[in-house]
Amino acid sequence: MGDLLLVRHGETEWSLTGRHTSHTDLPLTRHGEEQAASLVPLLAGRTFARVLTSPLDRAVRTAELAGLTGAESEPELHEWDYGGYEGVTTADIHRERPEWDLWRDGVPPASDGRPGESPEQVGARADRVLARLEKDLAADEGDVVLVAHAHFLRVLTARRLGLPPAEGRLFMLATATLGRLSTEHGRPAVAEWNLRP
């Protein structure tokens, strides 16, 4: 069985300042591009059955700089829809809602029509992605790579491990890092996490 490799995109201006970024299509910073290119040694020498990226530029560019070729765009890999909290920091949200917790409360809709998502909605998206990848992973023709966003990949990790979506809170994922989900005794397991060269 192939491993599931999870790559978070490199740094953007908003990831650097802690602003929630879902559909806003920000480019990588210069440092983010360097981070992405530094992933090449971690991915070199592996065989890939499939490479999927979020359609957003920061993920696509990270895949390119990390040396991943033949990537397919997968819309369901987009980041948690932050709705009314797009571009806002957690500290700013806590000024109005001191008890707010993304992993428990989700986000309210935005005035521009973005509905926002709950942990369960993000989990359902992650489940659909994982279901589509089962054959690729089981075929044992190489690893599957997903290049996407922190919160979505954290939820996807929780779901792969059989945990509720909100347990993604347990898996911090820094910019331009690699996580590897493998199997042990037939069960999904975290083999490596938050790797940088």
Sign of CA dihedral 142, 53, 108, 125: negative
CATH superfamily of 4-78+119-195: Phosphoglycerate mutase-like (3.40.50.1240)
79 catalytic per annotation: yes
The Cα 149–Cα 139 span in angstroms is: 26
pLDDT digits 0-9 by tens, 71-109 = 999 999 999 999 999 999 999 999 999 999 999 999 999
pLDDT for the residue numbered 113:
86
**What residue spans define the domains of the chain?**
4-78+119-195
pLDDT digits 0-9 by tens, 13-67 = 999 999 999 999 999 999 999 999 999 999 999 999 999 999 999 999 999 999 9
User: Catalytic: which of 11, 79, 86, 167?
Assistant: 79
Order of strands across the sheet with 178-184?
Answer: 72-73, 48-53, 143-148, 4-8, 178-184, 187-195
